[in-house]
Amino acid sequence: MSSISLSFLSRFLTTGARRDPDSWAGHLLKPFAALVALGIVWVTTIQIVQIYAMTIVFLGLMLALVFLTTGASANSSRDRVPVWDLILAAASIGISAYFWFHNERIVTRITLLDELTAWDILCGSGLLLITLEATRRTVGPGLTSIVLVFLAYNLWGDRLPGVLGHGPIDYLHFLDILAFTTDGIFGAPIRVALTYVFLFGLFGTFLSRTGGGDFFFDAASAVSGKSPGGPAKIAVVSSGLYGTISGSPTADVVTTGSITIPMMKKLGYSGALAGGIEVAASTGGSILPPVMGSAAFIMAEFTGIRYTDIALAGIVPAFLYYFCVYLQVHLNSLKLGITGLDKVPVFADTMRRGGMFLVPLIALVLALLIGYSPNFVAAFGTLAVIAVAMCRRETRLSFRGFYEILAEATLRVMPVVAACAAAGLVVGGLSMTGLGAKVTELIFLLAGTDLFLSLVVAAVITLVLGMGMPTPSVYILAAVLVAPALTKLGVSLIAAHLFLVYYASLSAMTPPIAVAAFAAAPIALANPLAIGLAAVRMAMVAFIVPFAFVYNNGILFSGAPLQIAFACLGVTLAVACLCLAAEGFWKWPLGIVHRLCFLAAGFALLAPSPLAQAAGGIAAVFGAWMAMRAGSRPGERRETSSY
């Protein structure tokens, strides 16, 4: 890709400059952010408040924070808040106050029958505009452009010919649905951001700031640091552990990648490959239980499936993702002759110093299994973090520590809030125009009633929607546009939506606009497109896993215990075979015949037919036998004793 194209993509993904938290502006904003955090914790876990009223206040305060903490462009001042941003922040709070004071009237009015007042029109229009601007500043022009296209379709799509056209929608109809109902800005995405996303974000911030992140990194180093490709395996394990808490591939890349990428480069990995491994490892965090990412919480809200059931169903797919990445990293390291680290932390010492940070994760799992709501699960996890941190002087939190964490948690969630509000605009617009049903018809037109082709089309649509967009927004759009087509073809509700969550996560590393790869580029000092391609190569087999659990729900822990066991064993063996075929290396190079044998075995094991699976198992054993025989022949085995 040319430098001009890369420059354009970088600008397309550019957000506004974040103001320095140590400046005078930052010192003024921190108390505000900390108070917002305390208020959210209070109304989501202690005080019962009407949900529509809560979302009004929450969105207004968060939009105000966006304009106070994020400049209009990447070149904006990092220590000064211009007058225009102060006006936008005041407008956010003022509009929120208007909706708050008229809350009862708005909730009880009849949509499209009760006329909007002049003030309704003014404040509703202002809310749309500041939401779009906040999205542009925090998430970038990519998502904003997509939202604008959908909004334009709502207003002027009646002029399109054929099936894509819809009935006339005037501006008041448009505004009524998007700003004065729970189908638009104040819909499910922003409610999820207010509750589950914020509270789990607070849990992750407490865990990270008290030393939990360092413990996970040291534990990963102790377990895998000395094996071939040690730093790369550290990246896989630590990024997965950190990612399940952060739920953001880009945040994971920036946090763990700043350590792992330079380590990998020192041992001989190219910048692109080092960045690609980190991106692949970080991307899987948003599908890894027990926390997973915010998309899983939105899925629970959309489908009505309990989050506990979603997390349980996500265990094997997440394991397969990391098994694939870890195995390909191992084989690739052997092939390149890259050894492990000479010095790594002692596992026993690591557990003695930080093993207490496993307690909050255990508390999360137990609370989920007992059946508490995600709000209280996050609250129990956070209380467990605070409790274990207070047990040691080095990790004990002071009053200032609490204050800093509360403020940081609020600022971390800001981009997600803006993205969820913008996604709400799209969802509301789709309900007006019926575009979701039309996309379902389009999928059937392209793929007929063939499930496999429909899944391919659904995966492609989700990956295309994900270009430059956060995972939650990608999933929301895909859930509205694509999920109905899959369920009509007989795919179970949980499998259809997990399929979309999985591909929404993978879109973060899929070129040409791989947001996680762009985050890794300045650390790896490599071309972001090359990083994205390397990440896709390292997680190549992971792109096949969602097809497996759609065809075989046993992978999602659905069915009889014996069926589940055979399904999990078969798909794990299939992933191993496909990784061997992709890398073309075992303990020595594999010939083309061996690779084709493993490839055939892998796909056969993934097939829904028991006969095909049996044939795949035989082919896998035969491929392994041939590979071992080839390695034992003089002159054909590559020396690997030093690896």
Report the range out of 126-130, 203-207, 257-261, 437-441 with the highest average pLDDT. Answer: 126-130
Mean pLDDT within 574-591: 87
**Residue with structure tokens 């009760």?**
114
Cβ atoms of 272 and 534 within 8 Å: the answer is: yes
Q: CB within 8 A of 35, min separation 6: which ones?
A: none
Q: Which two tokens stand for residue 134?
A: 């906040």
Number of neighbouring beta carbons within 10 Å of residue 576: 20
Q: CB within 8 A of 568, min separation 6: which ones?
A: 316, 554, 555
Could you read off the pLDDT of 522-554 as tens digits, one per residue? 889 888 888 999 999 999 888 999 999 999 989
- Give, in degrees to the nearest 5, the angle at Cα 329 between 592 and 251: 140
Every domain of the chain and the residues it spans: 16-140, 192-558, 559-630
Cβ atoms of 580 and 540 within 8 Å: the answer is: no
Residue 519 is predicted with a pLDDT of 83
> Helix, strand or coil for residue 352?
helix
Cβ atoms of 93 and 61 within 8 Å: the answer is: yes
Please determine, for residue 158, whether its predicted confidence score (pLDDT) is greater than 50.
yes
| Element holding 312 (H helix, E strand) | helix 307-313
Is the Cα dihedral 439, 442, 447, 449 positive or negative?
positive
Name which of 273, 621, 570, 599 is nearest 591 in CA terms. Answer: 599
d(CA 96, CA 149): 26
Please determine, for residue 92, whether its predicted confidence score (pLDDT) is greater than 80.
yes
d(CA 355, CA 350): 7
d(CA 589, CA 619): 19
> Helix, strand or coil for residue 585?
strand
Residue 298 is predicted with a pLDDT of 87
Name which of 9, 136, 135 is nearest 532 in CA terms. Answer: 9
Could you read off the pLDDT of 200-217 as tens digits, one per residue? 889 888 988 888 878 888
d(CA 154, CA 431): 10
d(CA 530, CA 277): 12
589 bridge partner residues? 585
Residue 277 is predicted with a pLDDT of 93
Cβ atoms of 541 and 575 within 8 Å: the answer is: yes
Please determine, for residue 630, whether its predicted confidence score (pLDDT) is greater than 70.
no
Q: Give the alpha-carbon dihedral of 221, 227, 229, 230, to 10 degrees.
A: 10
Give the CB-side neighbour count of residue 85, counting CA atoms within 13 A.
23
Cβ atoms of 584 and 590 within 8 Å: the answer is: yes
d(CA 529, CA 514): 8
More reliable by pLDDT, 600 or 77: 600
Could you read off the pLDDT of 474-493 as tens digits, one per residue? 898 899 889 999 999 999 99
Could you read off the pLDDT of 1-23 as tens digits, one per residue? 455 555 555 555 567 788 776 66
> Helix, strand or coil for residue 48?
coil
Cβ atoms of 212 and 354 within 8 Å: the answer is: yes
Name which of 473, 574, 551 is nearest 515 in CA terms. Answer: 473
Cβ atoms of 45 and 374 within 8 Å: the answer is: no
* Ramachandran region, residue 397 (left: φ > 0; alpha: ψ -120 to 50; beta: rest): beta
70 bridge partner residues? 18
